Structure 1
Amino acid sequence: MRKLRNFPYNNILVLGLAKSGTAVSKILHRNNKNVIVNDLKASKQDDSVIELEKLGIEVVTGSHPVSLLEGIDLIIKNPGIPYENILLQQAVEEEIPIITEIELLYYFDIRNLVGITGSNGKTTTTTLIYEMYKQAEFAVEIAGNIGHVASQVAETMGNERSMVVELSSFQLQGTRQFRPHISVLLNIFEAHLDFHKNLENYQNAKANIFQNHTSEDFLVYNADDQKVVQMIHSAKSRKVPFSRMKKLDRGAYVDNGVIYFNEEYIIDIADIALVGTHNLENILAAVAAAKVSSIPTSAIKSVLSVFNGVTHRMQFVAKKEERLFYNDSKATNILATSKALQSFDQPTILLAGGLDRGNGFDDLLPYLQNVKAMVLFGETAEKIQQIGQSAGIANISLVEDMNEAVKNAYQVSDKGDVILLSPACASWDQYTTFEERGNIFMESVHRL
């Protein structure tokens, strides 16, 4: 089992339990660090609390007493906890460093770390790169925002193994020394502004993925996204562009229906299993990351010819009475939903809505041409309804939950229609995770 190397902190407050907080508390304990855990919503009867207290770790629940900061030299916070939290505000005043558990990867000294971030496409790209490593028989782990606590995976993996890690802006904002050897920046779109407050803060968080790069590291970036191009201008990395819009002198690009890398033929687009224009960008990013990792083209081509997507991201669910059902529950912002809508030429019934983060939905308007009906739910239902009405969509229903949404969508559909769950919103107003939301959608479809 790996140990943290040159980790300069001894008295650590872990703020927020959940999966990552529980895992990191155990890791620190195994590294002989003094750990206190604080969680507002947890109870002393929770399994995770009982487990940690049996190890001798102090767990404080039900409040955030500022007295917990006494003697603390580091806070490791759950990525989703806002910096307005009273403990974090006081820690800033006292100049106590605040990190997220992803920072521990630096101290685990992983030989080859591939980090992927962006507003959309992270999970698909991360999975593609991981599958390419596996196909080439490279020793590799997958972790991060994709569902596996990265520091927990890092602690148990062998020295010869690589790690492919999906990274959110929430995770990256809490990094200081973190340095992937290969960083992938897919795109930048206004997202999570309720947390980051403005686009500049959001971009700065994303930029942490390459902030500590040297000329020994690689930065794979979207040459079609001007925000990305501006962000990476001063990066010290070896820059590797990808583009689906133009032929490049180097990097990954499309030319006459073929994907190339540095003028090397990779694969015909017609032979790729994964559909959707937006997925082509994810594929190009994965190809670039794989090539700089010295993965053979044969392994890349093999994966691209069979990989058809990840759960909850443009996932084909079923065909019923000649209606096609797709689960895109991971579409938690407008950009993701707009790209999903562009994937279909058929008449589409859109199921959307969720957590209200204060943004409007005007940017969705140009992509509603094929939408014949909308079934809306959650806090944003009425906001999205206004956009649907502006688009001239006559059939718009507001419903209470996903079961009702699926029944309603099926009732207003015709043969040949696509019924698409692509919410354009986070799930937290009604569901714990986008996975839960997507699973309920699929269960409802199968019950029809």
Structure 2
Amino acid sequence: MKIQDFNNKKVLVFGWARSGKAAAQRLFELGAQVTVVNGGEYENDAIYQQLLENHVKFISQDSDDSLDATFDYMVKNPGISYDTPLVKRAKALNIPILTEVEVALSSFDGRLIAVTGSNGKTTTTSLIREMLKADGQNVTTAGNIGTPVCEVVRPLTKKDTLLLELSSFQLMGLPDIKPDIALITNIFANHLDYHGTRENYVAAKFQLTKNQTLDQILVLNSDGPDTPDFKNKSHAKVVEFSRTKIGLTVEINDGNLFISNQNLMPLTQIKLVGPHNLENVMAATTVAKLAGVGNTAIRKVLEEFGGVPHRLQYIFTANHVKFYNDSKATDIEATQTALNSFHEPTIWLAGGLDRGDDLMRLIPNLENVKAVIAFGETQQKIVAVARTAHKPVITVDDVEQAVPVAIKLAESGNVVLLSPAAASWDQYQSFEERGDKFVAKLKKVLGL
């Protein structure tokens, strides 16, 4: 789609979260006749007041005249299900259903790099951003990483790079996306409650490369089960990365990271830890190299980048003890990945909302755990896991109380790891709040 596609067109914006606000504002700027439908309240909302004054229409979700055949487009919040009655009505009326990213891209003509995948999207996107910046390139990041694309796209020019992290939800509403470089980190069976089947989920991911041509690039994980099918269906030039295979642009050989047959650095110098992060590193390095980033800039980022906040994030080293914040680990699988990332004696802080998970599945991953500190609703489940694995365990009320206990237990060469294996909502508003309180308490107790 191009910018003129929305001029004088009648567009329904469904949902008033941050992406809905951004879409409504941008559509108004592009000359669209905008109607916003939402079940919530607009009181004390400055953007609502501004758009209302500019004749943008706001109606209730339950209104009978929410949608009719005179609308040219629906722009839907990505989290709203396609089974919602209003969305079903749009499909029945053959009204194209978009997400705000499509609106934003209609006015962008610079270089587009887009990243999707089941795991590692945010870390990989952040690595690519830092590599491009270290190389002196103009790059703007948005999308699923936390910023609606409509909020950032207006001042961008042909000389700029727009780097997007995109979810499967967003991709379903991007019929015309055509990245210069597309990256799919990996694909697992995620969000089946939304997509219904794995096939539907995979199809949503394929949307990233569906419109690409031979002069554009698709980067794939060579070890992924869907990679052969994607290679056959995509019309782009395919470039692969792999932790296990050699002969690729970016590869691992004898404990070193190679780029185009040049030894970039020993793996021990990469700050991010864990095999999953090594895949993220290789994916980001492949994209950065394709985007013209020099080896010096790539190496510098890999030596310094400690991770995205709350995602197995390296905090600091104090008294020869390394501290990591993995508050984003709200399920068993994420904590398994974190625990498997360390060979050092580890003090593991865990606990949170009890959703009935079988935490005993964590026992095989406690080989390097020195001691366990348990808190939250799942405290006693964590205690049972520790005792079954014959690990010392201490109970505390919350994350803040766990910190001084962990510091007292830690010896030179140890790791202190917050990886809760549970959601935060029993005690905190979000995993971000939980992680922030962990880091703040660390700094306070250690006098940093």
User: Structure 1 residues 190, 125: closer, same or farther in 2, change over 3 A?
Assistant: same
AA at the equivalent of 2:297: A
AA at the equivalent of 1:308: G
Alignment match, 2:132:
133
Residue ranges of structure 2 left out of the alignment (5+ in a row): none
1:254 Cα shift? Answer: 0.4
- The answer to whether 1:65 aligns with 2:59 is no
Residue ranges of structure 1 left out of the alignment (5+ in a row): none
Over residues 94-121 of structure 1, what are the superposed CA-to-partner deviations in whole Å (9 max), with x where a residue is unaligned? 3322221122344224331111112222
TM-score relative to the length of structure 1 = 0.85
User: Structure 1 residues 444, 230: closer, same or farther in 2, change over 3 A?
Assistant: farther
1:424 Cα shift? Answer: 4.6
CA contact (8 A) 1:120 1:335 kept: no
Q: Secondary structure at the match of 1:49?
A: helix
TM-score relative to the length of structure 2 = 0.85
CA contact (8 A) 1:182 1:218 kept: yes
Alignment match, 1:406:
400
1:25 Cα shift? Answer: 0.6
Over residues 320-365 of structure 1, what are the superposed CA-to-partner deviations in whole Å (9 max), with x where a residue is unaligned? 7876542123335544332221222223323244595x98667655
Distance of 2:183 and 2:13 partners within structure 1:
29
1:258 to 252, 256, 259: 256
Distance of 2:19 and 2:399 partners within structure 1:
33
Over residues 120-159 of structure 1, what are the superposed CA-to-partner deviations in whole Å (9 max), with x where a residue is unaligned? 2212211211122122222221111222221221222122
Q: Secondary structure at the match of 1:22?
A: helix
Over residues 60-102 of structure 1, what are the superposed CA-to-partner deviations in whole Å (9 max), with x where a residue is unaligned? 35x4435211232221122222223332232233332222112
CA contact (8 A) 1:258 1:268 kept: yes
Aligned residues: 438
1:257 Cα shift? Answer: 1.7
Alignment match, 1:120:
119
Larger mean CA deviation between 365-374 and 49-58 belongs to: 365-374
Aligned residue runs from structure 1 range 42-81, under 5 A: 42-60=41-59, 63-70=61-68, 71-81=70-80
Aligned residue runs from structure 1 range 293-332, under 5 A: 293-317=291-315, 324-332=322-330
Alignment match, 1:24:
23
2:368 to 367, 370, 388: 370
CA contact (8 A) 1:66 1:90 kept: no
1:292 Cα shift? Answer: 1.4
Q: Secondary structure at the match of 1:336?
A: helix
CA contact (8 A) 1:65 1:87 kept: no
AA at the equivalent of 1:87: L
1:210 Cα shift? Answer: 1.4
Alignment match, 2:277:
279
Distance of 1:256 and 1:11 partners within structure 2:
59
Larger mean CA deviation between 428-437 and 255-264 belongs to: 428-437
Distance of 1:175 and 1:426 partners within structure 2:
31
CA contact (8 A) 1:191 1:333 kept: no
CA contact (8 A) 2:73 2:97 kept: yes
User: Structure 1 residues 261, 94: closer, same or farther in 2, change over 3 A?
Assistant: same
1:18 Cα shift? Answer: 2.2
AA at the equivalent of 1:267: M
Larger mean CA deviation between 198-207 and 366-375 belongs to: 366-375
User: Structure 1 residues 434, 347: closer, same or farther in 2, change over 3 A?
Assistant: closer
1:27 Cα shift? Answer: 0.5
AA at the equivalent of 2:206: A
Q: Secondary structure at the match of 2:154?
A: helix
RMSD between superposed Cα atoms in Å: 3.2
2:418 to 421, 425, 432: 421
Distance of 1:360 and 1:27 partners within structure 2:
46
AA at the equivalent of 1:114: I
Larger mean CA deviation between 320-329 and 256-265 belongs to: 320-329
CA contact (8 A) 1:69 1:91 kept: yes
Aligned residue runs from structure 1 range 189-208, under 5 A: 189-208=188-207
